Amino acid sequence: MEQLDLFAAAEKTPVPATFAARPKSPRPVAVPPVPRPASAPRSVVAADDEASALFADPCVELPSVQAPIPSPRRIAPLLIGNPRDAGQRLGEAVADTWHASNWGGYRIDIPVSIVAGLALFPIKGHTEDITRIINTSTDWQLLQGYREIYAHTWAHRPDLGALMAPLMGWLTEESVEEKAYAVRRVTETALRYGILQLTGDPDPYLRSDTDVMSWTITSLRSHGARQGLGEYHTPPEVCDLMAAMTCTEAPEKGERFHEPAGGTGGMFRALAQQLRHLLADPADYEWALNELEPLSAAGAAVNAIVWGLGPNVVIACGDTLADGGLHERSKRERAHLFEERDQILGYIAAVDAAQETFALVDRLATVR
């Protein structure tokens, strides 16, 4: 068994056929799916161990064992019905659970962070096993698991990970253990209402049926807060209609799409799905989104990963009307974040190499 390396080079996680058998939302019959390269299957046991590593003690070193692939087994899916209705029910249930906890509603960043963390879970297609692992974790393992999910996200996408700072702050607070009860209740609610079914499919087409970040944020905000922020997310049906009307044929690769008041990215979700209907890959285009409110901008960064928008995403958090150079500055900051990530990972690799060298010297000295 091999522990998940949070700082390894980015790669797509292959999924065994055992876990690809659950019913999926049908694609348009007349439109074949976007072709994707085949991936070598992993064993179910290995995938299960990688998920466990996110909610286990990182000090425990697991032995490297390659287990045989077991016989296929049936997994009863959670019947969530229409994904959009399910997304709304999830957001409302999370809000009810959070408001019923001892922490009340003044820290909505915490339940939003929990939903985002589960949506970002790096292993896709293993819903039943991931749910079991999370539900049986200790409070410390649960909190550490969320930290490692965000660390994994930053290591692979530092540009989007930096925008998620409003979602991660509570995990570094000294009183974080006191929030464990409320965190667990919200986690259980999100799992029960299908967060992994909505966002955990290996196919980004099926992960883009709904905007769980929008439903969660709007359900947690009071009506007065939404009015004060001027925050009104466009209904998904309207987004779909606009995307279908404005994008009737696939644009040339490399074209840029710009959303100056993007919220959590609902228009981008609809456009990405329309591109897939036209047999185009959203990753072949540039996506530029501006958003004034930091929590919504963080939600857009989460969605960009969940929806598979690809590497060319620039999300800026600021006032588009007051700052005309917001997008260009965000592009420069994005390049700097990747350079900074590479330097940090280089330091970590150097420290690991030095520790291995010192350990080898100690062993040689002991032998002599």
pLDDT tens readout for residues 99-146: 898 665 578 999 999 999 999 999 999 999 999 999 999 999 999 999
Average pLDDT over residues 48-57: 62
342, pLDDT greater than 80: yes
Could you write out the DSSP letters of every residue in 283-311? GGSEEEEEESSHHHHHHHHHHHHHTT--S
Query: Which residues make beta-bridge pairs with 258?
Result: 288
Tokens of 224: 């007065």
10, pLDDT greater than 70: no
Among 51-55, 93-97, 342-346, where is mean pLDDT lowest? Answer: 51-55
Alpha-carbon distance of 314 to 288, in angstroms, equals 5
CA dihedral 279, 212, 264, 154 (to 10 degrees): -90
Residue 51's nearest CA partner among 116, 171, 110, 132 is: 132
Task: Name the residue type at position 137.
Answer: S
Task: Write out the E strands in the chain.
Answer: 256-259, 286-291, 313-317
192, pLDDT greater than 70: yes
Average pLDDT over residues 165-177: 93
Q: Name the residue with tokens 């286990």.
A: 56
Is residue 98 within 8 Å of 108, Cβ to Cβ?
Answer: yes
Higher per-residue pLDDT: 84 or 95: 95
Per-domain boundaries in the chain: 39-68+83-317, 337-368
Higher per-residue pLDDT: 90 or 233: 90
Query: Which residues make beta-bridge pairs with 286?
Result: 256
36, pLDDT greater than 60: no
Would you give the distance in Å from CA 12 to the centre of its chain?
A: 13
Q: How confident is the model at residue 47 (pLDDT cuts 50, 70, 90)?
A: low
Is residue 247 within 8 Å of 278, Cβ to Cβ?
Answer: yes
Query: Which residues make beta-bridge pairs with 97?
Result: none
State the greatest distance between any 2 C-alpha atoms of the chain, in Å, as a whole number: 77
pLDDT for the residue numbered 319:
85
Q: Name the residue with tokens 């009810």.
A: 96
Q: How confident is the model at residue 221 (pLDDT cuts 50, 70, 90)?
A: confident
Tokens of 313: 């995403």
pTM of model > 0.85: no
pLDDT for the residue numbered 79:
54
Tokens of 303: 């969605």
Q: Name the residue with tokens 């068994």.
A: 1
